[in-house]
Amino acid sequence: MLICYRYETLLIKDIIDVIWKRLRPTSFTAVENSVGLDSSMNSIDLLLGAGVDDVRFIGIWGMGGIGKTTIARVVRERISPEFEFNIFLENVRDNVQKGGLISQQREILSRISMKTIDIFDVHEGSTMIRRLLRHKKVLLILDDVNDSNHLDYLAGKQGWFGSGSRVLIATRNEHLLIEHGVKRRFQVKLLNHDDALKLFSWKAFGKDHPEKNYIDLSSCVVSYADGLPLALKVLGSFCVEDM
């Protein structure tokens, strides 16, 4: 049986520090991504209201690395065939910093019109988005939103969209959702110990439980990661490299 010595804890802390500096998930298998998702998806499904023809804004919020983007991707995979158009704007925060809010408006417009549309200010962009989308059933997903302007100029209000449309907003800040009037909100929680151990094991050992000789060490890693999915995945990747 392996024992968690102090140097192992320090090593884990160093690895966690590296994770926070790059805080971007790499690609993961569908099996890994499904761990702990069932209860979350049941709650999201209720908020989505399948078959209901109203326009719904749904907020998915929680700390960085907790799995908001993963949930949004799973939602898209499940329900996108029900819509005329489905648009997933990933890493809105980073993309706005790089290219401005207009770049994200152009992305939405190009997905709908299938051609590049020139716009010169965010007010013009929001007007064109509203005109193009208001009679269409659309699935719009805005990932990693951190500013109220992102919502004001990319998603606006229910009147921007055709009957049956759904707008999903992933953010670390619940206040942004409240400020924008998003009443349907889901907080992504940390994984419990059992699910955390499964997720770590999938990444480290390719199965839902740790190797016999690594049970104690795996338990220490899982406890230190405290149920954060991104930390568990990246720590599992380090273990694969070191084995």
Is 214 contained in some domain? yes
Q: Where are the alpha helices (DSSP H) in the chain?
A: 6-22, 30-34, 37-48, 68-79, 92-99, 101-113, 122-133, 148-154, 174-179, 193-205, 215-225, 229-242
Same domain? For 58 and 177 the reply is yes
Report the CATH number at residue 109: 3.40.50.300
The residue-averaged pLDDT of 125-146 equals 95
* d(C-alpha 36, C-alpha 220), whole Å: 20
Name the average pLDDT for the chain: 85
* d(C-alpha 239, C-alpha 224), whole Å: 15
Same domain? For 195 and 148 the reply is no
Mean pLDDT is lowest, of 32-36, 152-156, 182-186, 201-205, for 32-36
pLDDT digits (tens, 9 = 90+) for 149-175: 999 999 999 999 999 999 999 999 999
Whether 202 contacts 29, CB under 8 Å: yes
The residue-averaged pLDDT of 215-241 equals 84
Same domain? For 166 and 198 the reply is no
Within 8 A by CB and 6+ apart from 235, the residues are: 12, 15, 16, 19, 200, 203, 204, 221, 225
Same domain? For 48 and 24 the reply is no
Is 1 contained in some domain? no
Same domain? For 140 and 208 the reply is no
Whether 184 contacts 61, CB under 8 Å: no
pLDDT digits (tens, 9 = 90+) for 233-243: 888 877 655 55
Same domain? For 91 and 134 the reply is yes
Which band of pLDDT confidence, cut at 50, 70 and 90, is reported for residue 49?
very high
Please check the confidence at residue 21 and state whether its pLDDT lies above 80: no
147 or 206, higher pLDDT:
147
Please check the confidence at residue 22 and state whether its pLDDT lies above 60: no
3-state secondary structure of 187: strand
Is 199 contained in some domain? yes
Choose one of 156, 187, 218: the last residue of a domain: 187
Within 8 A by CB and 6+ apart from 204, the residues are: 210, 214, 218, 235, 236, 237, 239, 240, 243
Within 8 A by CB and 6+ apart from 161, the residues are: 55, 133, 134, 136, 137, 138, 140, 167
The residue-averaged pLDDT of 102-108 equals 95
Same domain? For 47 and 112 the reply is yes
Please tell me the predicted confidence (pLDDT) of residue 14: 53
Mean pLDDT is lowest, of 48-57, 108-117, 183-192, 223-232, for 108-117
Same domain? For 136 and 93 the reply is yes
Same domain? For 209 and 139 the reply is no
Is 81 contained in some domain? yes
- DSSP states of 64-79 as a string? TTSSHHHHHHHHHHHH
26 or 162, higher pLDDT:
162
Is 87 contained in some domain? yes
Same domain? For 210 and 166 the reply is no
* d(C-alpha 1, C-alpha 47), whole Å: 46
Same domain? For 176 and 236 the reply is no
Query: What is the residue range of 232's domain?
Result: 6-28+191-242
* d(C-alpha 15, C-alpha 134), whole Å: 47
138: which strand partners? 85
Choose one of 172, 187, 202: the last residue of a domain: 187
Is 182 contained in some domain? yes
Please tell me the predicted confidence (pLDDT) of residue 237: 79
Please tell me the predicted confidence (pLDDT) of residue 211: 87
Total domains, the chain: 2
Same domain? For 204 and 235 the reply is yes
Please check the confidence at residue 11 and state whether its pLDDT lies above 60: no
The residue-averaged pLDDT of 58-71 equals 95
Please tell me the predicted confidence (pLDDT) of residue 204: 87
